[in-house]
C-alpha cells in the first residue's frame, strides 16, 4: 500500500493507529524463508545431525557392515585367469583296512589311562568289625593323565594315525554296498576328534604352520588343519571349493569333501589329499592349497567328563575331585 494512501486513511479514521505495526509484521519474510527456505526441523534439509539413522540388521550394525565374528577373511571367488589343479586320485583299499584305520583313529584320541571316561575309579575294603563282611568303598577322581576330559594329551599318538586315515578317505569304491556305512563310521571318528579342542589344534599345528608359510605339500600328501570356514566358491560343473581360513590370510580350499558334517560357518577341523596350489591367482591370499577327497567337521572344545560332573552336562559341578575322591552314590552308605 502506498504511503500517501495510508496517511489519507489514517487521517479519515478508516484505519486504526496500530495498523502499520501489523502490516510491518506481515511484510517480513517467514522464518523458514529467512533461514534458507526450509524450517529448522525439516529433515529434508540434508542436515546429517537431524537424528536420522541408517537401516540396521537389528543387531546394531548397518546392512553393509561386515561382521568380523561371522565372516572369515577368505576369498569369495577365484580371480580371472586362476588355474585350479587337477583332481588327485588314490589307489583303492579294502573295506576292512579302511574300517581298521577309522577304529584306530577313534581309539588314539582316547586317554589310555581311563579309556576316555575321564574318571579314575578306586575300590577298597573297609572293615565293619569282627564277624562282619567288609564293605566295598568305591571312589572317583579325575583321571591324572587327562584331568577329566577323557582325551589323550599326547598329539604324537594321534597325528600319524590321522595322516594315514586321511589318505584313505577317497580310496573306498563308490559303488560298494558297504561304503556308506564305512563313511558314516569315519565321520563319527572325525567328529570325536574334532571335539577334542586343544588336542586337535596341537595335532594339526605343524600343517597349519606350513600353510601359513605358504609351504604347499607335495601332490598326494595328506594335510589336516583347523580354522574358520567361509562361503563355498562355485567353479563350474557343480563343483565347489570350501575356503578355510587357517591363520591370517592363509587359506586352504577343499574341493568336494567326501565327508562334510561342518556347519555353514564357524570353526572346523578339515583335511584332505593335496592336489597342488591354485596357479595364476592374483589375490592377497598367496598360495592356496586345494585338497581333494577330504573331510570337514566341527571343531570345538572337549567337554569335561570327570568325577565332579554328576549331572553329565560337560562342565564341573564344583572343583574337580582330587586326593580323597568322591564316593559313588550308595556304595558306602552302609545301609
Phi/psi at 55 (5° precision): -60, 140
Residue 248 sits in the same domain as residue 101? yes
d(CA 295, CA 254): 8
User: Is the same domain home to 135 and 273?
Assistant: no
Taking the C-alpha atoms of residue 64 and residue 76, their distance in angstroms, rounded to an integer, is: 16
> What is the residue range of 320's domain?
115-150+303-335
In the prediction, which pLDDT does 227 show? 95
157/283 same-domain check = yes
Domain-embedded: residue 4: no
Clarify whether residues 130 and 247 are in a common domain: no
Asked if residue 239 and residue 99 are part of one domain, the reply reads: yes
- Residue 282 shares a structural domain with residue 193: yes
Q: Does 101 share its domain with 240?
A: yes
Q: How distant, in Å, are the alpha carbons of 115, 149, 169, 305 from that of 316?
A: 19, 10, 37, 8
**CA–CA dist 143, 119 (Å, integer):** 5
pLDDT score of 85: 95
Inside any domain, residue 3 = no
Please state whether 60 falls in left (phi above 0), alpha (psi between -120 and 50) or beta.
left
Q: Which pTM does this prediction carry?
A: 0.68
Are residue 197 and residue 288 in the same domain, yes or no?
Answer: yes
pLDDT, position 290:
97
Write the CB contacts of 18 (distance below 8 Å, at least 6 apart in sequence): none
Which of the 8 DSSP states describes residue 43? Answer: G
- Based on the domain organization, do 209 and 100 belong to the same domain? yes
CA–CA distance, 72 with 230 (Å, rounded to integer): 6
Domain membership flag for residue 231: yes
Judgement on whether residues 225 and 257 belong to the same structural domain of the protein: yes
Does residue 120 lie in a domain region? yes
- For residue 281 the three cell numbers come to 591367482
**Whose CA is closest to 255, among 269, 279, 239, 276?**
239
Per-residue pLDDT of the chain (335 residues; tens, 9 = 90+): 555 544 544 455 544 444 433 333 333 333 333 333 333 333 333 333 333 322 333 333 332 333 445 578 889 999 999 999 999 988 988 888 998 988 888 888 888 888 888 888 887 777 766 667 777 777 888 888 888 888 887 888 889 999 989 988 888 888 888 899 999 999 999 998 999 888 899 999 999 999 999 999 999 999 999 999 999 999 988 999 999 999 888 999 999 899 999 988 899 999 999 999 999 988 999 899 999 999 999 999 888 887 776 666 667 766 544 444 444 333 343 33
Number of domains in the chain: 2
64 in a structural domain: no
Please report whether residue 42 resides in a domain.
Answer: no
Q: Give the C-alpha separation, 253 to 191, whole Å.
A: 20
Given a contact cutoff of 8 angstroms between Cβ atoms, the answer to whether 22 and 6 are in contact is no
Kindly state whether residue 207 falls inside one of the protein's structural domains: yes
Amino acid at each position: 500500500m502506498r504511503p500517501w494512501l495510508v496517511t489519507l486513511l489514517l487521517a479519515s479514521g478508516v484505519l486504526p493507529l496500530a495498523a502499520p505495526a501489523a502490516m510491518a509484521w506481515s511484510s517480513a519474510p517467514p522464518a523458514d524463508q529467512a533461514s534458507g527456505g526450509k524450517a529448522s526441523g525439516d529433515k529434508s534439509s540434508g542436515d546429517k545431525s537431524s537424528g536420522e539413522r541408517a537401516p540396521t540388521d537389528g543387531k546394531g550394525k548397518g546392512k553393509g557392515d561386515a561382521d568380523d565374528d561371522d565372516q572369515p577373511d577368505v576369498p569369495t571367488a577365484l580371480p580371472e585367469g586362476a588355474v585350479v589343479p587337477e583332481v588327485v586320485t588314490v589307489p583303492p583299499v579294502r573295506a576292512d583296512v579302511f574300517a581298521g584305520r577309522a577304529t584306530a583313529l577313534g581309539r588314539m584320541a582316547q586317554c589310555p589311562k581311563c579309556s576316555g571316561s575321564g574318571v579314575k575309579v578306586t575300590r577298597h575294603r573297609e572293615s565293619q568289625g569282627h564277624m562282619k563282611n567288609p564293605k566295598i568303598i568305591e571312589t572317583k577322581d579325575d583321571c591324572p593323565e587327562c584331568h577329566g576330559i577323557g582325551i589323550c594329551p599326547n598329539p604324537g599318538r594321534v597325528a600319524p594315525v590321522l595322516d594315514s586315515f586321511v589318505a584313505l578317505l577317497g580310496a573306498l569304491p563308490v559303488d560298494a554296498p558297504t561304503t556308506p556305512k564305512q563313511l558314516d563310521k569315519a565321520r563319527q571318528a572325525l567328529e570325536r576328534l574334532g571335539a577334542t579342542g586343544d588336542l586337535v589344534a596341537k595335532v594339526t599345528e605343524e600343517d597349519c604352520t606350513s600353510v601359513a608359510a605358504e609351504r604347499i605339500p607335495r601332490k598326494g600328501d595328506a594335510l589336516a588343519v583347523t580354522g574358520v570356514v567361509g562361503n563355498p566358491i562355485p567353479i563350474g560343473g557343480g563343483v565347489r571349493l570350501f575356503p578355510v581360513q587357517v591363520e591370517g590370510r592363509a587359506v586352504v580350499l577343499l574341493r568336494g569333501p567326501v565327508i562334510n558334517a561342518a556347519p555353514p560357518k564357524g570353526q572346523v577341523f578339515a583335511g584332505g589329499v593335496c592336489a597342488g596350489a591354485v596357479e595364476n591367482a592374483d589375490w592377497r591370499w598367496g598360495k592356496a592349497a586345494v585338497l581333494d577327497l577330504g573331510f570337514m567337521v566341527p571343531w570345538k572344545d572337549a567337554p569335561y567328563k570327570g568325577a565332579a560332573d554328576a549331572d553329565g552336562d560337560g562342565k564341573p559341578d564344583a572343583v574337580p575331585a582330587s586326593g580323597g575322591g568322591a564316593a559313588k552314590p550308595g556304595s558306602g552308605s552302609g545301609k
